[in-house]
C-alpha cells in the first residue's frame, strides 16, 4: 500500500507530458502481462488492444467511438513506442513551457483525432483501399501535431543531431515528405494519420497567431467528463479565449519573452536558466 501511495504521489507531481508518456508505457506493458496470465491458465489469448484500436469500419467505430483517441496510447512494438516518445518528449516539453497544459492537450489530443479521422476518411474514400479494414494504433499523429506546431511557431529552433544542429523546420519537412512518399509502400493508414496530425499542428498555430483558439471545445469536453464521472464537481468554464500575443499591460513582459525565444533559437531550450523556464511557463498559463 505504501508503494502504491508513493507511486501515486510521484505520478501526481509529474507534468501532463510525463503523465501521458507514463500511460503510453502502461498501455504497452499491460497487454503482454495479461496474455502471460492467460497462457499460464491455458486460456485462449485475448487482445485488450482490440477495445482501443481504431478501425476504418464505420459500424465498428459506432460501438467504440473512444477509439478515435485511445488508439494513440497503444503501440505495436518497443521501437514504435520509443520513436513516438522521443519526438513527443523533445518537442512537447518546449510547447508545454511556452503555452501551458491546456494548449498542449489541445495540440496532442486533437492531433490524435485528426490523425484517426484522416485515416478513417481515406480508407472509405480512396478506391485503392476498397475492402481493406486494417486497425491502427500509435501516438504518431499526436506527436507529429506537437512537432509541427512547434516548427510552425518557432521554425529556427534547433535540435542537436549527433555532431551538428538542425532546425526543426527542416526536420518537420523531412518527416512530412517521408510520410507522403511511403504511403504506397506499407502502413498507408499510419502515414496518412501522421499527415492528419501534422495538418492540425500547423492549422492550430496559424489560428492562434490570429487570436483564435480552435481547440476550446476539447477543454470544455474534458471538464464535462470530469463532471459526469464526479457529480460533486461543478461544471465550470475554465478556459477563455486569449490573444495569441500578450498586451503591454500584462504581468509578463513581452520583450523579455522575445529575448528568451531568441535565446532558444540560437542556443537551444536546454540553455535556458530555471528562472527563464518559469517565465515561459507563466506566459503560457496567462
**Tens of pLDDT, residues 81-92:** 999 999 999 999
User: The whole model's pTM is what?
Assistant: 0.81
Q: pLDDT class for 286, splitting at 50, 70, 90?
A: low
Instruction: Enumerate residues 6+ apart whose C-beta is below 8 A from 252.
Output: 246, 279, 282, 283, 286
Average pLDDT of span 57-74: 94
Average pLDDT of span 210-226: 88
pLDDT at 233: 45
pLDDT at 244: 46
Q: pLDDT class for 9, splitting at 50, 70, 90?
A: confident
Mean pLDDT of the residues in the chain: 86
Burial, 45: exposed, middle or buried (Cβ in 10 Å; 0-12, 13-18, 19+)? exposed
Using alpha carbons, select from 264, 211, 207 the residue that is nearest to residue 91.
264
Share of the chain above pLDDT 70, in %: 87
- Measured CA to CA in angstroms, residue 169 lies from 56, 140, 148 at distances of 32, 18, 8
In CATH terms, is domain 2-220 a member of 1.20.1540.10?
Answer: yes
Q: pLDDT class for 77, splitting at 50, 70, 90?
A: very high
Measured CA to CA, the distance from residue 139 to residue 39 in angstroms comes to: 28
Amino acid at each position: 500500500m505504501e508503494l502504491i501511495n508513493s507511486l501515486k504521489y510521484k505520478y501526481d507531481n509529474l507534468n501532463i507530458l510525463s503523465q501521458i508518456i507514463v500511460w503510453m508505457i502502461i498501455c504497452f506493458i499491460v497487454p503482454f502481462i495479461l496474455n502471460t496470465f492467460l497462457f499460464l491458465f491455458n486460456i485462449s489469448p485475448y487482445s485488450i488492444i482490440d477495445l482501443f484500436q481504431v478501425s476504418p469500419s464505420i459500424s465498428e467505430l459506432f460501438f467504440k467511438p473512444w477509439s478515435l483517441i485511445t488508439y494513440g496510447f497503444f503501440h505495436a512494438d518497443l521501437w514504435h513506442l520509443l520513436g513516438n516518445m522521443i519526438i513527443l518528449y523533445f518537442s512537447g516539453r518546449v510547447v508545454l513551457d511556452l503555452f501551458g497544459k491546456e494548449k498542449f492537450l489541445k495540440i496532442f489530443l486533437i492531433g490524435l483525432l485528426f490523425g484517426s479521422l484522416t485515416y478513417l476518411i481515406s480508407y472509405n474514400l480512396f478506391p485503392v483501399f476498397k475492402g481493406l479494414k486494417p486497425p491502427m494504433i500509435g501516438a504518431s499523429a499526436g506527436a507529429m501535431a506537437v512537432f509541427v506546431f512547434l516548427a510552425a511557431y518557432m521554425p529556427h529552433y534547433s535540435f542537436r543531431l549527433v555532431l551538428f544542429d538542425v532546425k526543426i523546420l527542416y526536420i518537420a519537412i523531412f518527416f512530412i515528405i517521408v510520410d507522403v512518399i511511403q504511403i504506397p509502400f506499407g502502413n498507408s493508414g499510419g502515414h496518412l494519420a501522421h499527415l492528419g496530425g501534422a495538418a492540425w499542428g500547423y492549422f492550430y498555430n496559424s489560428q492562434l497567431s490570429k487570436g483564435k483558439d480552435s481547440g476550446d471545445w476539447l477543454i470544455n469536453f474534458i471538464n464535462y467528463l470530469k463532471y459526469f464521472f464526479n457529480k460533486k464537481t461543478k461544471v465550470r468554464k475554465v478556459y477563455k479565449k486569449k490573444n495569441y500575443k500578450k498586451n503591454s499591460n500584462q504581468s509578463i513582459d513581452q520583450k523579455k519573452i522575445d529575448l528568451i525565444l531568441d535565446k532558444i533559437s540560437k542556443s537551444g531550450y536546454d540553455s535556458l536558466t530555471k528562472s527563464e523556464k518559469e517565465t515561459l511557463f507563466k506566459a503560457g498559463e496567462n
